[in-house]
Chains A and B, each alone.
Chain A
């Protein structure tokens, strides 16, 4: 794709500024039940163009990359921008197009993997479920690889290109025994196919599904609550990512507006956005408007140090972008974390459990994305948890709702930070223990 020609053409047609965001991706996926159910392979190229006329902007995305398709996209963008009322806060697109040095984001074998290359991993995953428990059955899952190439250019600089690979797998397992059913799911995500821990995932899912055959119910009440690392990570991202976005802060939709340098969390909590770290899932050389990325301390020992900026929100405050622009080819950029990392504590999960008298260890939740990051109110529905009595896992339970204010949890109710950081795409945290959390159960 000749992105320079597109920029030149946009200027010829009357754009005062223009930017091009071009992506090329290919993915291979094996869908699993007890066996490899189906397989697919997809290649896509997509072009996003944003043009500026004075202080009016318009974004057009297209997957019709013929000369006529690109021309139509540009003309459409210009015609929208001409009738769009100006945004008086608009300054310019990113004038400092540049990259950071970040390694370990790309693996050639993974980029070139075909459906057939994924087969051994799928087989290992399916077979290992029975190693976890001989009567466990895999019922749904997937093994996937993805390669993505992103090119950015605007009227001030570029083009620059970055490459990324991802490989992932998940498995949902069921055990039917004595008229009761136990389920569990587990997953893994890495840069390269060969790093995936298929066997560990399969064994864990099989063994846990067996335990949840006898899941009971939790009584309504206030408990010492331990969020397993994977649950803590999901909740942290859902509640914090929108709240630390400078756009939401400026537009009056964040509870963190005007609270820089305040201690909003326990001093045991330090949260960093790892935008430019080698081998981290979500780190990249430049953000989605061609600005170099950074590793940014967002909360230092509980104190809010910065919001995350793209160019638009940064220039509104007369400052430099933090390199946190995200976008798809269908839209303009907006600020978003690359990889929110909650720093490890010192206590193992076993020791956290040992120090708990009457508690709940939450293994899997659904619906945490239904929480409200504007009010800070957290809700998550527990599908898999254990009750804890006197330092030991007591019994598996399900069907309850956690309900609390996230900032109260992370400040006054935080008791222990675990040392078991788990890395997902875009977020990593250890397990966390809180005191006195309301659980709506039986």
Chain B
């Protein structure tokens, strides 16, 4: 039915005078099962369905959306999108692209929605209770998240693409208490897969390990504050790349002058050891065969051996920057205008082992991603920050005792120039519990890389 509505909407938009229109319909279900301190606190299911339409009218863009799919409402949506276009005053265009029609489906063996609810509640309670048995654990929250997302894009230039993605995972948070001091550690694992992903892992052990780490972290000191050498593990490097570099390479920020990378195409902006890739289809990452403008997502080598090779683009920014369309126009859902976003952003592996990097660093910090909350960047000022989980100091080329989770910061242009070694162990991850935020929209992304040795980061310790 949503397909018929999309065709009808496109027809109305075109007959209202739009020189181009793009209609997106979406159907999403999200299940969340939460256990809190041994009790099943909440089991929620959410159903979302709606439509968004973007029009180009006299060179100006307008967007409108609704979840009322009656004929009258759809007519009004087009009317509002046209009014929105009249309120815009930037004259823009759309970059050329190849037009495709087709259907993509992520792989799953067992459809998670077909698994009985009591199996899901049983799992979450069992995992939660196991984690509470670890000494010193005062509180624990376990969540199972299951998302099915169906997106359909139809446009005036003949694109008709649909994609169905199944994403699920389990997140756990443990709070430890010791001598009046408290510490929390959280971790999650997600996969574009079916219920077989859940069946294939010992989640009690996963949660017990989180609890044990919280128990150790609560007794650990903070690292000293200041600038120091850092070896970042794959999860950390994913976050650093995403914040420190990925956002600054997004074409809309470059075009508007809000990225420190503007005007630097072809320049050496990172160590020659650094190659950075954005790819819509990669093991461990999120499934993004095409973007929300209906352009196929192409593998983009953003940095090649230290040289800035390209920016990520959607159709609008491809025109402003005179670059090819990279298929990175993504929207959180049908209520949002697609923006230039990363898909799976990662660093290509090198040839060092983690041990060799720790020895090479001599003094510094080994930053661990397990327990991180995320990061943030000001692409214009060039400053980024992210949180690390409980980590280890490096002394005399060896890993020393645990230090508590902390915040680390650096400058976009300095950090990647200071990459002294790149590991051979590539790992990319995604999450069903979070995503990347920009302009009030959150999209699922993947990120990662190998272990990396960085010359200098600012550590906010004690």
Contact = CB atoms under 8 A, between A and B. Distances in A.
Interface of A: 28, 30-31, 33-46, 56-65, 69, 72-73, 76-77, 79-81, 83-85, 87-89, 114-116, 118-119, 137, 139-140, 142, 172, 174, 181, 183, 212, 215, 220, 251-253, 255, 329-332, 366-367, 369-372, 374-375, 377, 379-381, 383-384, 398-403, 438-442
- Which of B177, B183, B383 has the most chain A CB within a 10 Å cutoff? B383
B188 interface: no
A281 to B, nearest CB: 17
B407 A367 contact: yes
A183 B378 CA distance: 10
A329 to B, nearest CB: 8
B165 interface: no
Contacts of A31: 337, 439
A114 B37 CA distance: 47
A63 B48 contact: yes
Interface residues of B, number: 88
11 contacts: A38-B337, A43-B68, A44-B335, A59-B43, A64-B47, A115-B83, A374-B183, A383-B383, A399-B411, A401-B460, A403-B406
B85 interface: yes
B50 interface: yes
Given A370-B374, A381-B385, A381-B407, A39 B85 contact: yes
A42 B381 CA distance: 32
A139 B256 contact: yes
Contacts of B257: 137, 139, 174
Nearest to A89: B39
Given A140-B258, A403-B460, A85 B409 contact: no
B462 A438 contact: yes
B42 A440 contact: no
B151 interface: no
Contacts of A253: 138-139, 175, 182, 184
Contacts of A369: 373, 376
A377 B221 CA distance: 12
Given A44-B335, A63-B49, A440-B225, A83 B64 contact: no
B109 interface: no
Given A85-B40, A401-B385, 20 more contacts: A33-B256, A37-B61, A40-B63, A41-B84, A59-B44, A80-B43, A84-B40, A84-B43, A137-B257, A174-B257, A174-B380, A220-B225, A251-B139, A253-B182, A329-B46, A370-B387, A399-B411, A401-B225, A440-B409, A440-B459
A401 B141 CA distance: 30
Given A59-B44, A251-B36, A374-B175, A399 B83 contact: no
Given A40-B63, A44-B66, A61-B45, A119 B87 contact: yes
B461 A403 contact: yes
Contacts of A43: 65-66, 68
A399 B244 CA distance: 13
